Amino acid sequence: MNLPATDRRVLVSGASRGLGRAVARAFAANGDRVAVHYNSRRTEAESTLASLDGGGHVLVGGDISDAAGAARVADEAFAGLGGGVDVLVNNAAVNVRHPLPETPYAEWAAQWQQHVAVNLLATANLSHLAGRRMIDQGTGGRIVNIGSRGAFRGEPDHPAYGATKAAVHALGQSLAVSLGPYGIGVASVAPGFFETERVAARLEGAEGEAIRAQSPFGRVADADEIAAAVRWLASPEAEWASGTVLDLNGASHLRS
């Protein structure tokens, strides 16, 4: 299978800001064409699109939390990229605080439904849509999932987030086995805490000091560091990394 090194067609879900924006920029800087997906933050997604190097990029809006919406987004992205896809990065996710002792049951149930719909089912559905297109193209491809350190160490304040990210890791490993014969590599990254606009307030004061102290490096990651690993896992050179879950947490959590 001949996955190209540049000028690939790349769909990044949830790319309006934060890590999704950094991932989109990393692929564009590599000479790839990127479909920038967003759900509700169109203005921010337009800023992401405008910041990308090169040309041939496309903006794709839509709710991927249900199967029909995911199919519409995929179809629009593939068409905008010239009729296909070579790389899918499953980045879109929700992460809302809902610790069991403090959360009323109705809210608890709603949070679980939302986390499963966006973090897990959207990842599964986009992976099917992109994977089938890659199989039909016959040139291989890559799927990279954004997981989390929380899948391994637990997330007491965000249990549905931790559970769905663990499921995303398991999904990626299952797909790595089933798609390998078609030259399609599937891998996941498991970041620890990294700095984005969304969590900037948490990095101030005593809480920020405690978060940075989790790593022996005394800092948190930059989104560009995570994006660089995603780009490598999607590269032709990373085929033998298929099935891996790559820890990116600055030694803040070590697992056997």
- Count how many Cα atoms sit within 13 Å of the Cα of residue 221 in the half-sphere of its side chain: 22
Calculate helix-pair angle for 18-29, 223-233, nearest 10 degrees: 50
> Measured between alpha carbons, how far is 249 from 159 in angstroms, rounded to an integer?
19
- pLDDT tens-digit readout, 58-114: 999 999 999 999 999 999 999 999 999 999 999 999 999 999 999 999 999 999 999
Q: What is the pLDDT of residue 216?
A: 97
Domains in the chain: ranges and CATH: 9-248 (3.40.50.720)
Q: What is the pLDDT of residue 163?
A: 98
End-to-end CA distance of the chain: 33
Q: How far is CA 111 from CA 67, 160, 211, 243, in A?
A: 19, 7, 25, 29
- Our answer to whether residue 182 is catalytic in this structure is no
SS3 113: helix
pTM above 0.85, yes or no: yes
Asked if 26 contacts 53 with a C-beta cutoff of 8 angstroms, the reply is no
Which residue do the tokens 């499953």 mark?
Answer: 90
Q: What is the pLDDT of residue 1?
A: 61
* Mean pLDDT computed over 6-10: 94
- pLDDT tens-digit readout, 117-175: 999 999 999 999 999 999 999 999 999 999 999 999 999 999 999 999 999 999 999 99
Q: What is the pLDDT of residue 167?
A: 98
Asked if 221 contacts 248 with a C-beta cutoff of 8 angstroms, the reply is yes
